[in-house]
Structures are given as C-alpha cells and as structure tokens.
C-alpha cells in the first residue's frame, strides 16, 4: 500500500503547489472567464505559464504532480 500512501501525500501537496502559483493561476482563470465562448488554445500562453509554475514548484518540493 506504499503507492496509495504516496498518492495521498501528492494530493495533500496540491493546495501548497496552487498557493505557490496563485499569480499564474489567477492569470489563467482571468483569461478563461473573460470570454463566454472560449476557443481552443485561446489561453494557451497563460496555461503554459501556469503549468510551468506548477512543475517548478513540484520540483522544488521534490514531489510529483
């Protein structure tokens, strides 16, 4: 059951990761919510920045996403 314990620990880290990337998350959320008809890849740049931030924060915490 080691894998279950590790998965639970990763889930517990998500709020911390999101808090570290709150600026990028807010920028992405703003982009998505400004237009009711969001098209494919319309917020791609904001999403990539948010994703990179999450990956860096996870790397700094020595955990996986």
Q: Is the pLDDT of residue 18 over 90?
A: yes
Q: pLDDT tens digits, residue range 26-65?
A: 999 999 999 888 888 889 999 999 999 999 999 999 988 8
pLDDT of residue 35: 82
pLDDT of residue 39: 86
pLDDT of residue 65: 82
Cα-based torsion angle of the residue sequence 57, 48, 18, 22 in order, rounded to the nearest 10 degrees: 110
- What is the pLDDT averaged over residues 6-35? 93
21 neighbors 53 (Cβ within 8 angstroms): yes
Could you give the number of structural domains in the chain?
1
Closest C-alpha among 41, 50, 63 to residue 22: 50
47 neighbors 28 (Cβ within 8 angstroms): yes
Domain membership of residue 45 as a residue range: 2-61
**Distance from the first to the final alpha carbon of the chain:** 19
- What is the pLDDT averaged over residues 14-31? 95
């Amino acid at each position: 059951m080691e894998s279950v314990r590790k998965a639970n620990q990763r889930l517990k880290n998500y709020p911390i990761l999101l808090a570290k990337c709150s600026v990028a998350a807010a920028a992405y959320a703003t982009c998505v919510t400004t237009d009711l008809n969001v098209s494919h890849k319309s917020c791609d740049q904001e999403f990539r920045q948010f994703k990179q931030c999450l990956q860096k924060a996870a790397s700094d915490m020595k955990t996986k996403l």
